[in-house]
Chains A and B, each alone.
Chain A
Amino acid sequence: MTSRKIEVLVGLFVALAIAAFLLLSLKVANSGMTGSGETYMLYAKFENIGGLKVRSPIKVGGVVVGRVRSIELNTEEYSPIVAMEIDSQYNNFPETSSVAILTSGLLGEQYLGLQPGFVDETVSILKSGDYVEDTKSAIVLEELIGQFLFNRGSN
């Protein structure tokens, strides 16, 4: 086996490995967020976050604009506070916007639906670190069934 042949084969091996790595990182993994990669933070206080997790997507009209950065419990009121990391390309949400915890499909994962609100002179734009005031908590199936049974019982 000549040294040149060995070199070519080793080169081929490394090239194959690089191709595999590219396939894995570009085709298999989500290559992060599109756009500049710069983000800003918004916060929202909920009563119940259901099955929402860190890194759950934040969607506007079905389009992913950011991801949940962290979920913490406010120690004064014991209500969960969700930190949302949003692509700075979408930095024009008015303070009348609302967030709701929604479920994709019947059994799918939970995500945050951000609904942009109306704009007029008195409404300012949400900046990094602001709280979204209007929030709608997750629907917990057990509570729903409980209410349904309770209503049936009282009839």
Chain B
Amino acid sequence: MIVDKLQQLGQHSIAKIQGMGRATIMLFGALIAWPTPRKSFPLLLKQLYVVGVLSLLIILVSGLFIGMVLALQGYTVLSKFGAEQMLGPLVALSLLRELGPVVTALLFAGRAGSALTAEIGLMKATEQLSGMEMMAVDPLRRIIAPRFWAGVISMPLLAMIFTAVGILGGHLVGVDWLGVDGGGYWSAMQANVDFQQDILNGVIKSAVFALIVTWIALHKGFDAVPTSEGISQATTQTVVTSSLAVLGFDFILTAVMFGG
């Protein structure tokens, strides 16, 4: 009885560690090679469009609305203390430090990560990847590498756009609607936001999340069981695993950056 349970636990752990090993081998196989900018740049550009530009709309709209809601909720509490001028720092700091990187990563996992997994999984199911290998084209270099770099490059950019739009949304609600002083909104923000402590740490955070989400999405697709059921499972797993990983790493990064 107990031995059976132990065996199950062992099987499970070995499978997880093997999966991590395969993911690492995949990433190294895709990234460590002689750079061929002439061939890989057009591929990267195409993926930047698919992963970055097409995610822009959802990022802009959610950024605007999250900034507006933050200002609305912050105002109700702050006005009780007569501290409406702290609305600027409240909106800016929560967006720069937490909401910008985290919400962008979650949206990115849902919008772009799932698409990457499904695309690569289907390529595997229809044996396009094997076909490439037959033609001596390395699918890691041709398929995985441009998608990985596109994800890693575009997510910090998306997070910055999200944060900037959110702060403007906060201005829209706080200053233009609720009547907080506009000069105070910006000047209190400038007094409380530090370039290195807040902006740079936020960018580092979103770069880490970009790495995690893109890697998980590519690995789940590349490792998917090549059936329609397997692809649907892999897509679900991408969204669930990368969301949980983002939230977990967010806690660790926040503790390291701002906890001390």
Interface residue ranges of B130-178 to A (CB < 8 Å): 154, 157-158, 160-161, 163-165, 167
Chain A interface category by residue count: 20 to 34
Q: Which of B66-117 contact A (CB under 8 A)?
A: 83, 92, 96
Q: How far, in Å, is A39 (CB) from chain B's closest CB?
A: 16
Is there a chain B Cβ closer than 8 Å to A125's Cβ? no
Docked CA distance A14–B45 (Å): 11
> Is the Cβ of B157 less than 8 Å from the Cβ of A31?
no
**CB of A29 within 8 Å of the partner chain:** yes
| B195, CB-defined interface residue at 8 Å | yes
What residues of chain B lie closer than 8 Å to A32, measured between beta carbons?
Answer: 195
Q: How far is the CA of A17 from the CA of B158 in the complex (A)?
A: 7
How near does chain B come to A71, taking the closest CB pair, in angstroms? 15
Q: Are A13 and B56 in contact (CB under 8 A)?
A: yes
Which applies to chain B's interface (DSSP): helix, strand, loop or mixed?
helix
Looking at the complex, which of A1-9, A45-53, A135-143 is the stretch in contact with chain B? A1-9
Q: Are B195 and A25 in contact (CB under 8 A)?
A: yes
Q: Does A119 contact B (CB under 8 A)?
A: no
CA distance A123 to B163 in the complex (A): 52
Option from A1, A3, A10, A28 in Cβ contact (under 8 Å) with B52: A10
Verify if B8 is at the interface (C-beta below 8 Å from A): no
Please, which residues of chain A bring their CB within 8 A of the CB of B189? 28
- Return the CB mask of A17-36 against B: 1 if under 8 Å, else 0: 10111011101111110000
Chain B 109-128 residues near chain A, CB threshold 8 A:
none
A28 touches B194 (CB 8 A): no
> Which A residues are within 8 Å of any B CB, using their own CB?
1, 3, 6-7, 9-10, 12-14, 16-17, 19-21, 23-25, 27-32, 55, 107
Other than the given A20-B157, A24-B199, A30-B195, 19 more pairs (CB < 8 A) read A9-B53, A10-B48, A12-B53, A13-B53, A13-B56, A13-B154, A14-B157, A16-B56, A17-B161, A20-B160, A24-B160, A24-B167, A27-B186, A28-B190, A28-B193, A29-B198, A29-B199, A32-B195, A55-B194
In the A-B complex, list the 3 residue pairs whose CB atoms are closest, starting with the nearest.
A17-B157, A20-B164, A29-B195
